[in-house]
Structure 1
Amino acid sequence: MSDSLIQVDALSKKFGSFTAVDGVSFEVRQGEVFGLLGPNGAGKTTLISMLVALKKPSSGRALVNGFDVATQADEVRNSIGIVFQDPSLDEELTARENLELHVVMYGMPSSARAARIAEVARIVGLEDRLDSVVKTFSGGMRRRLEIARSLLHYHKILFLDEPTLGLDPQTRKHVWDYVRRLKKEHGMTIVLTTHYLDEADSLCDRIAIVDGGKVVALGSPDALKNKLGGDVIEVESSDGACLAESLAKQEWVRQAK
């Protein structure tokens, strides 16, 4: 039996004549942190939007927790947590009130609410700030509160869309620590998008590099660095073929042409 919680097969999304995601295929294994790495406009957020059943694919298929994102959208949404790129907290409410609003909207029994709110606040290190108004929070604290909100319903899979965008380096590393804890201590499967190379390298078990709506490379950080890393040097020569042949024999040269 497959240990993959997400299976993506030839998934595409078109907006008119523009293809935002073009025939993407990959799987995400249970308990791993899987990264979608690429520049702005590469198609990462559109891909995530399909996987969380907010946008319907134009073609191809994706299963999340065994549910088809196109035909079982409600089941998909009820089985995942997600932190969007854009902030979605009510700044005039306290952290506790933001979390309480979420559990009430999603129908959590009243007898379970207080304990679960306390638990997710502890997971992200905000147990001492639950009664503080969100507008007094730093960017990192707000992001941690959004992660806490996404954990309220015991989901197996968490989607993080650019989780540290706009945060300072120190705060980014704090968020990384909490993501690692979610995997290590709670066994969560996490899919994150990022355009930060260091973030993908630090957090992810495997990375899909996305560019122009396609997955152009897929593997562990070390495997991708070994495959794709290095400098490109352009040399002019009167006998290019001979020089390329000679350079290709050097152990420090990966490719010469």
Structure 2
Amino acid sequence: MIQIDKISKSYKKDKLAVDCLSMEVKSGEIFGFLGPNGAGKTTTIKILTGIISPDQGNVIINGFDMKKDPYKAKASFGYVPDEVTIYPKISGQEWLNFISTVYNVPKGESNKRIAELANQFEMSEVLNNAIGTYSHGMKQKIATMAALLYRPKVLILDEPMRGLDPKASIIFKEMMKEYAKQGNTVFFSTHILEVAEKICDRVAIINNGDLKIVIETSKIREKSDLENLFMELTEK
């Protein structure tokens, strides 16, 4: 579960990248975070993950206060950034082994989980290749595998399907659905409104740092569609 309480962040004196944003993301929920370029999505996610600190407000993840207990808060979620940067000379297998060690996953359990994830993401045949030889989509997959390896209760994804081919996108969507079914939380930003409308339980729309709406996707479909709502709230 994620609780965001009145967070604000500015990079310039006269402009807020995020303006007093508050919302709660529930356990077992797929939550889409939407907005145009420069709306404040990535800044919000960097605050959620503790990469940057807000000017005011706070974040609690799985009951851990990001300000008071940042190490426990960060250890309780998995994160895949919009730009995946991993040491290019090591193999995917070596990277996953390293992540297992960092998060204290027992070796026997780690080997089992890596094999399962590699099969799910169709990475078994390239797992021992250097990451520098991977395509963008393969790097996204290995980063997601690393985030899932230690079985966090919250998964935070910044534009996870950017650059993925259609088959990889389908795998990704199914992974998110299965992960949420197990009682976990998926929070992800995306520009692909059709995907958000189909798989999210709720979505939030942000524009110019201001949270415009948090709404169940089923309620959107009762009246219109997500594309029309998005344009209505962000066109100005």
Answer yes or no: same fold by TM over 0.5: yes
Alignment of 1:65-144 (within 5 A): 65-144=62-141
Contact 1:95 1:133 in 2 (8 A): yes
Could you report, residue by residue, the CA deviation over 1:28-67 in whole angstroms, capped at 9, with x for unpaired residues? 1111111101111110111111111222121223211111
Mapping of 1:149-160 within 5 angstroms? 149-160=146-157
Q: Which runs of 5+ in 1 are unaligned?
A: 233-257
Which of 11-20 and 111-120 deviates more?
Answer: 111-120
Task: Tell me if the contact between 2:193 and 2:226 (Cα under 8 Å) persists in the aligned partners.
Answer: no
2: CA distance, partners of 1:134 / 1:231: 37
Separation in 2 of the partners of 1:228 and 1:128? 44
| Residue of structure 2 equivalent to 1:195 | 191
* CA deviation after TM superposition for structure 1 residue 75, in Å: 1.2
Pair 1:216-2:212 in alignment: yes
Letter in 1 for 2:111: A
TM-score (norm 1): 0.78
Judge conservation of contact 1:159–1:192 (CA < 8 Å) in 2.
yes
Question: Displacement of 1:155 after TM fit?
Answer: 0.7
Q: Greater CA radius of gyration, 1 or 2?
A: 1
The alpha carbon displacement at 1:130 in A equals 2.3
Structure 2 letter corresponding to 1:44:
K
Deviations 1:162-191 (A, max 9, x none): 00123344433332222223223x432100
Task: State TM-score, norm by structure 2.
Answer: 0.85
* Structure with the largest fraction of helix: 2
Matched position secondary structure for 1:151: helix
**Cα deviations by residue, 1:65-88 (Å, 9 ceiling, x for unpaired):** 111122221111011100011112
Match of 2:57 among 40, 56, 60: 60
Higher relative contact order (CA 8 A, sep 6+): 2
Question: Paired residue for 2:25, among 16, 23, 28?
Answer: 28
Aligned-partner residue type, residue 14 of structure 1: S
Deviates more, 1:90-99 or 1:115-124: 115-124
CA RMSD of aligned residues (A): 2.4
Aligned to 1:247: none
